[in-house]
Amino acid sequence: TAEVMSHVTAHFGKTLEECREESGLSGEIMEEFHHFWREDFEVVHRELGCAIICMSNKFQLMQDDARMHHENMHDYIKSFPKGDLLSETMVRLIHNCEKKYDDIDDECSRVVKTAACFKKDAQAEGIAPELTMIEAVLKKY
Ligand code: BOM
């Protein structure tokens, strides 16, 4: 659900600042991680892919090949209130997008394409959070 996704985004987004340097993601490209969900934010920059890899590694959500670690992602999402309602859908959507870009060798480029695909599919499934929902839970984490 969008409510659960707002929690996941708020928590995951807290690691962005730790990852800015190594990913090269400037504040000009993305000011705050939850802007990922803005309708007018385009998920296109390679640096954002690098940042998502760095952030995922803080929670072991990716394997060594920068592809999703299914079990850890499942457990991570389930750790949020009502997370069991979202975990299977989210893992399925991400994996489906990951398969579409399997031929891209550059990890950062592949991850940003996968993330853009995931954003679109999450919006289509009605599980993309509103910015106001995320802002309401940011202080919890
Ligand atoms: O192949 C690598 C798969 C990784 C793609 C990650 C897509 C999601 C990143 C952007 C969305 C964030 C929202 C919530 C946190 C998800 C862990």
Distance 115 CA to ligand 1 centre (A): 6
Distance 69 CA to ligand 1 centre (A): 11
125 lies in which domain range? 2-140
Domain total in the chain: 1
pTM higher than 0.90, yes or no? yes
| Tokens 């991680």, located at residue | 33
Q: For atom 14 of ligand 1, which residue has the closest CA?
A: 9
Residues 59, 76 contacting (CB under 8 angstroms): yes
Q: Tell me: the pLDDT tens digits for 90-136?
A: 999 999 999 999 999 999 999 999 999 999 999 999 999 999 999 99
Supply the ipTM of this predicted assembly: 0.93
Ligand 1, pocket residues at CB < 6 Å = 8-9, 12, 36, 52, 61, 66-68, 94, 98, 111, 114-115, 118
22-43 burial, b at 16+ Cβ within 10 Å, e below that, comes to: ebebeeeebeebbebbeeeeeb
We report the CATH number of the domain holding residue 95 as 1.10.238.20
pLDDT of residue 76: 98
Q: Tell me: the pLDDT tens digits for 6-23?
A: 999 999 999 999 999 999
pLDDT of residue 49: 98
Distance 91 CA to ligand 1 centre (A): 10
Give the percent of the chain with pLDDT over 90.
100
| Tokens 């920068």, located at residue | 66
Distance 25 CA to ligand 1 centre (A): 16
Q: Tell me: the pLDDT tens digits for 53-70?
A: 999 999 999 999 999 999
CA end-to-end distance (rounded Å), the chain: 19
